[in-house]
Amino acid sequence: MVTAMDEAIGNITQALKDRNMFDDTLILFTADNGGWPTFAGNNYPLRGSKITIFEGGTRAASFITGSGIDAKNKTYDGMLHAVDWMPTLVSAAGGSISNPDMDGINQWDNIRNLRPSDRTGFVYNLDDKFPPVNGHAAIRDGKFKLIKGFPGPYPGWYKPDTAEIGQKIKEIHYDLKNRTSWELGYMLFDLDADPTEHYDLSGKHPEVVSKMSKMIEEYKKKMIPANSPGNDPDSDPSKYDGFWTPEECKVMRWNPEKDKNNGGWIPYFGNNYPLRGGKITVFEGGTRATAFITGAGITYRNATYNGIIHAVDWMPTLIGAAGGDPTYGDMDGINQWIFIQTLSDSARSEFIYNLDDTPFPLTGKAAIRSGDYKLIEGYPGPYPNWYKPDTVYEGLYNKSLYEEQSISEVEFKMYADKVMLFNIAEDPTEHYDLSEKRPDIVKNLQARLDEYRKQMVKANYPPNDKNGDPKYYDGYWSPGWC
């Protein structure tokens, strides 16, 4: 993810520079919460994790750079809450918001001039649901922080060398049998003196606990109850060609020929039935994906578009929708905007599913679609079957499915010369291999694959960059160039 973000931000900043817009742009990059230790996240020496109300779950790093920032290469230590960003950025752009009921505070002048923050307190969380699995309630007032009730399932301090994928870090779950102790309990910390929350001062300062607990009750009077609607039977996939929908959303939908980024992953509750295969295969279950589009320019509402669309078509299509010129030399994508608008036949008749000429193509070697026919060449990926929904549910890790991800060198060689041919128009679930019946089509499609191979750009898998080591960035991972 860091590599992908690095590339994406680099592309954006370069585009701004190429268009002489960089010097007039303000860039804000911010996390939304702390890291999750069981998934390689790290907040040490702060206490806790994502989904807790300790500082490790709620303090987050940000940086801001660009037009209007007078203090360069500096650290701002003033108190800032996420809700402050909207009025702050509006002010940075020359605007203003006058709403006495707004939670956010305009901090623009404070940030750019390194002045003290105008904020002295905030609410971390107020959870009126039961059980409060991510933390019940917490509030900050000046240097003091009060936690009321259950703080969340990660109450410890997790050093970086313990934060590895697969590392079992003990979670502390809400105790339904002893809920009174959670609901009535308090923890009080002086964050100026103890930012890592080692020393509970609730016994030493009962007057502060009393004051801040009353503040929590006042906030509760103003809070809007959380809205977590139940399942809606009107969104049943059986009513929408097999797709989940929020029902009230009146949109144009795609058949599963088309977008999302891939099919569902079978061992992780994904389902593509009746299509064959799963994510990380070149079967339709791993490559067909759903999308919907709605808004300005969509002529037909509540319609399904059945034309072939590839992921690379989206960029020129959206540029076309915005009135731009999406013609760029050797671009792979096709502008499909007019065809989507009018429900006309797609301009695309051919595309590549995958081309992987490495010795061990773990997610499928090669596949191509041309017209109605699809050719798979070599190893197709680790999920070659049809997986009904009732075989995949939470808590079930089907061993036979999971082990399909492993394949030996011998098995790769067994697949080396194997081909499969399907008529996707007549057999979208890929039950009937036609390779022996139609060797002429196999030959033509293999020739097309060879043509694409001549044009393909070699895959780039750069090694880890030592310049991104957290020890250079106060414990945070960095792509190295920042």
- Complete domains list, the chain, with CATH: 237-308+349-455 (3.30.1120.10)
For 12-63, write each residue's pLDDT tens digit: 999 999 999 988 899 998 888 888 887 778 899 999 988 889 999 999 989 8
Tokens of 21: 């817009």
How would you label 243-253 residue by residue, b for 16+ Cβ within 10 Å and e otherwise?
bebeeeeeebb
pLDDT-wise least confident of 18-27, 49-58, 64-73, 100-109? 64-73
Q: In residues, how long is the chain?
A: 482
385-404 mean pLDDT: 54
293: phi then psi, degrees, rounded to nearest 5: -140, 140
- Residue 193: is its pLDDT beyond 90? yes
Mean pLDDT of the chain: 81
229-241 mean pLDDT: 68
What's the pLDDT at 213? 92
Percent of the chain with pLDDT over 90: 35
pLDDT-wise least confident of 116-120, 154-158, 228-232, 435-439? 228-232
The pTM score is: 0.49
225-253 mean pLDDT: 62
Q: Contact 407/308 with Cβ under 8 angstroms?
A: no
165-169 mean pLDDT: 53
- Residue 215: is its pLDDT beyond 70? yes
Q: Higher model confidence: residue 224 or residue 247?
A: 224
- Residue 312: is its pLDDT beyond 60? yes
Alpha-carbon distance of 13 to 27, in angstroms, equals 9
Q: Contact 346/339 with Cβ under 8 angstroms?
A: yes
Tokens of 450: 């060879």
Nearest to 126 by CA among 228, 198, 218, 10: 218
CB atoms within 10 A of CB 69: 16
217: phi then psi, degrees, rounded to nearest 5: -65, -35
For 126-157, write each residue's pLDDT tens digit: 876 666 666 688 999 999 999 988 888 888 88
What's the pLDDT at 395? 40
339-360 mean pLDDT: 87
425 to 13, 278, 279, 371, 377: CA distances (angstroms): 43, 20, 21, 9, 19
| Three-state secondary-structure class, residue 375 | strand
Tokens of 474: 């106060």
394 to 3, 14, 279, 389, 409: CA distances (angstroms): 31, 44, 18, 11, 32
What's the pLDDT at 311? 92
What's the pLDDT at 478? 64
What's the pLDDT at 105? 93
- Residue 306: is its pLDDT beyond 80? yes
Q: Could you identify the residue written with the tokens 């991972």?
A: 477
Q: In one letter, which amino acid is 319?
A: I
What's the pLDDT at 254? 38
Nearest to 379 by CA among 406, 421, 428, 413: 413
